[in-house]
Amino acid sequence: MAKHNIQKKKRLSTPVFVFDDYVDYLRAWYDYAKRYRLTQNTFIKLAGVGSQAYFSDILSKRKKLALKHVQGFITALELSGDQAQYFSLLVQKEHATKGDMKVTILKKLAQYREKNLNKIVANNQAEYFSSWKYPLIREYIESRGYVGSVKEISRSFLHCSIPLAEIRRIVDKLIGWKLITQDTEHGGFRSANTPEVITYSSMPHAVVNDVKRFYIESSLHAMETLSMEDRHISMSIKGISREKYEQFCTKVDQLRKEFLECNEKGENCNIVYALNVQLFPVMKSTPDQSWTR
C-alpha cells in the first residue's frame, strides 16, 4: 500500500479539466509518468485492454480510443469522480456522429470545467499554461521574429528533445489560438503580436505545478552541462523573519516584472532564458522551551 501511495504522487498533477482533447491529456500524462519508468506495456496491463501497439496508435491519433476501453484507461490513469466523467466525455465527443449529440457533450464538458477550474478565464489559456512546451516554443518564435521550420525549433532545445511530430502539433495549436501565424509566403512561422491576457501567477497551482518541476529539472541539467559563463545558478541559505521574507518576495516580483518587460527581439535575440527563482522554508524554528541561559 505504501509503495502505491508513493507512486501515485508521481503522476501528472495538471488536472484533466485543462484539456479539450483526451489524446493531449494522455500524452501529457504518459510523458510525465514515463520519467518514473512507467512503460506503455505497464500502462496497457493496468488498463486491461488491447496491446502496446494499440496504445501507440491512440497517442499518434491513428486510432480512436474505443468506448468499451474507456473504463480501463480511467483505472490506469487513476481518475475518479468528476475527472473520470470528464475524460469519458472527451472520448465520447470524438465518437459523436450527430451534431446535437456533440453539442450536448460539449455543454457537459463546459459545466465540469466551470465547476472545477472556476479561476481560469479561458480554457485555451489553461491548456497553454499547463505545459512548458507551448509558452517556450511561442517565446522562441516571438523573440526570433521569424522561424523557418519545426526542424529549427527542434535543433534549438538545450535540455530536452521533442519529436518533430510533437512540435508540429504544438505549432498547430499555437496557430489555432492565434498566438503565432503561418507565413504563407516563406512557409515558416511568425509572432502574432498578441499580448498574453494572464500569466503563470494567475493560474491555479495544479495547472502549473508540472511546468515548474520541469524548469527545476532543466536548471539542474544546465548546471551540469553548461559553463558558468553561460548560466547563472546560485543558492543561499539564511534564517530570516517573516517580514524580511515578504520584502524579498516583493524584490523577486519586481525582478520578474523587469525580466518580462525587456523587449529584445530579432536576430540579436539568439537565446531563450528561463528565470527561475525559489524562496521557500527548509526548517522551522522550534526552540526548546526548557533550555535557559
Q: What is the pLDDT along the chain (293 residues), one digit of tens a residue?
A: 344 443 444 566 678 887 888 998 998 888 888 777 788 888 888 898 878 888 889 988 899 999 999 999 999 998 999 999 999 999 999 999 888 898 899 889 888 877 776 544 455 676 777 778 888 899 899 888 899 999 999 999 998 888 899 899 999 989 988 889 999 888 899 988 765 545 666 666 656 666 777 788 888 889 889 998 899 988 888 888 889 988 998 898 889 888 887 877 766 677 888 888 888 888 877 666 665 55
Q: What's the rounded Cα separation, in Å, for the pair 167 and 190?
A: 15
- How many structural domains comprise the chain? 2
Same domain, 73 and 147: no
Amino acid identity, residue 17?
F
Same domain, 40 and 51: yes
What's the DSSP call for residue 147?
E
Contacts of 229 (CB under 8 A, 6+ apart): none
Same domain, 21 and 92: yes
pTM for this structure? 0.60
104 CB-contact burial (10 Å; exposed 0-12 / middle 13-18 / buried 19+): middle
281 occurs within a structural domain = no
Contacts of 254 (CB under 8 A, 6+ apart): none
What's the DSSP call for residue 263?
-
221 occurs within a structural domain = yes
Same domain, 23 and 93: yes
Domain, as residue range, for 51: 2-117
Q: What's the rounded Cα separation, in Å, for the pair 111 and 118?
A: 10
Domain boundary residue among 56, 85, 117? 117
